[in-house]
Amino acid sequence: MRSKFVYAAPSLVLALAAIGLALYGLMQSPEIPVATPSAEQAPAQAVEEKEAAPVFRYLVAIEDLEAGTVLAQEQFQEFELPAALESALSPDQAPFGTTLNRPLKAGMLLSQSSIDSGTPLQLSLADGARAMAFELNALSSVGGLIQPGDQVDIYATFKGSGGTDTGTTRLMRNVEVLAVRGALEPGSDASDDTQRRNQTMVLSVPQAEVARLVLAASESRLSFVAARPELKATGEEALDDIAGKAAEEQQISLLTDIRPSARAKPAPAQQPRQAPARNPGQEVKIYEGSGTRSVYVR
């Protein structure tokens, strides 16, 4: 037993020495530095935060509001957009406590036009524009699909004398529809009696085009074609677009250009003329005995 302890003693001494050295090394080791953003990385992060897209806040009605309603914050819901909207009011600009001057449907933005003074028609007209009413039917309403805010092209068909010079030309393009059956907003509720009495649509016509359009309405048949709003071009593209529109406005479609021409009938073949048969004269029969002979007398 004693001999085994003698042999194991050096091993224990070496193990204790190794543990001691390890503890001493841990106590003498330097602290590991914590990674911190360098001076060069900090400005880069600040630039990224500045380049983030701006956020714009607006108000949307959560219920139908009639004209004359006093605005309250609980009638609207805030939402954010990455782009600015023209004439839309932010929550800081909302005139709570004032009255609406025109109806505001649920889901529509609160804009400056909703609180500006003036009649709804006056507020809908742009500067330099005039409101003109036209008869509304299944054709002029494009199958009943026309709504306030849509845009239409106006064509005029003129009938010539005898139909030979009948033609159609485009008078105006991308004319805004202000109202349909007296409603200035899409989906506005109107009684059946009002809709039956007011079968019209109102267009926003530039003042310079009013006289020309009035004359065309009295002397031709107008057709309305729904159009998609055009994107505004800038620079050279805008100049090319204006030149292209001017060229298109001068185009006129004539009936003679689209009517199929009748094929000319082939002339009948001439029959060869035959000489009239020669008249030998009047036949006279002479009886001589049992025989007869004929004699022609002229």
With 0-12 / 13-18 / 19 or more C-beta atoms within 10 angstroms meaning exposed / middle / buried, residue 72 is exposed
For residues 270 and 285, the answer to whether their CB atoms sit within 8 Å is no
Q: Do the strands 200-206 and 167-180 form a parallel or antiparallel pair, or are they unpaired? A: antiparallel
Report the alpha-carbon distance of residue 139 to residue 221 in Å, rounded. 12
pLDDT digits (tens, 9 = 90+) for 184-205: 777 665 555 666 677 888 999 9
* Euclidean distance between CA atoms 51 and 245, whole angstroms: 39
Q: Is this prediction's pTM over 0.75? A: no
Residue 180 has a pLDDT of 87
pLDDT digits (tens, 9 = 90+) for 102-133: 788 888 888 877 777 677 777 778 888 999 98
pLDDT by residue (tens digit) across 56-108? 889 989 988 888 888 888 999 888 888 887 778 888 888 888 888 778 888 88
Express each pLDDT in 242-265 by its tens digit: 445 545 555 777 777 777 765 656
Residue 121 identity (one-letter amino acid)? L
pLDDT of residue 284: 66
Q: Which of 16-30, 51-65, 175-189 has the lowest mean pLDDT?
A: 16-30
257, containing H or E segment? helix 255-258
* 6 or 200, greater pLDDT: 200
pLDDT at residue 227 above 50? Answer: yes
DSSP 131-178: EEEEE--TTTTTTTT--TT-EEEEEEEE--GGGTT-EEEEEEEEEEEE
Interval 159-186 mean pLDDT: 82
Residue 279 pairs in a beta bridge with none
